[in-house]
């Protein structure tokens, strides 16, 4: 017996659709499979499976403390380089310092 399915209708820019479908085709996927994978990941992560953020977070540097700044810098460098925890020790030290100040 076939699995029950529900329909999903999405409107989007045709150029965006074509670009995405070309990439999916190279991966051996169609749109329906990719959307099902996305929904599976939403369920698995209990939320969006990637960061949803304002891309120009650098504009808010004057509002950040040094811990937040170090963490943001570390995340950006990891994204650019694909390396893990480039500044992780700095962030850990700042986090420990922050917790120490909280305790006092």
Cα(20)–Cα(30) distance, integer angstroms: 10
Question: What phi-psi label fits residue 95: left (phi over 0), alpha (psi between -120 and 50 degrees) or beta?
Answer: alpha
Residue bearing the bigger pLDDT, 102 or 14: 14
Residue 7 confidence (pLDDT): 94
Domain ranges within the chain, ordered by starting residue: 14-45, 57-103
Residue bearing the bigger pLDDT, 85 or 73: 73
Residue bearing the bigger pLDDT, 64 or 60: 64
Cα(58)–Cα(25) distance, integer angstroms: 35
Instruction: Please give the average per-residue pLDDT across 4-30, as a whole number.
Output: 95
Question: Which pTM was predicted?
Answer: 0.51
Instruction: Please give the average per-residue pLDDT across 55-73, as a whole number.
Output: 72
Residue 85 confidence (pLDDT): 53
Rounded alpha-carbon distances, angstroms, from residue 24 to 38, 42, 73, 85 = 13, 19, 31, 31
Cα(30)–Cα(37) distance, integer angstroms: 11
């Amino acid at each position: 017996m076939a699995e029950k399915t529900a329909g999903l209708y999405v409107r989007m820019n045709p150029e965006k659709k074509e670009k995405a479908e070309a990439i999916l085709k190279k991966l051996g996927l169609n749109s329906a499979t990719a959307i099902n994978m996305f929904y599976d990941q939403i369920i698995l992560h209990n939320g969006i499976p990637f960061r949803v953020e304002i891309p120009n977070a650098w504009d808010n540097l004057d509002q950040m403390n040094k811990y937040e700044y170090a963490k943001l810098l570390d995340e950006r460098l990891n994204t650019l380089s694909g390396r893990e925890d480039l500044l992780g020790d700095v962030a850990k030290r700042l986090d420990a310092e922050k917790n120490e100040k909280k305790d006092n």
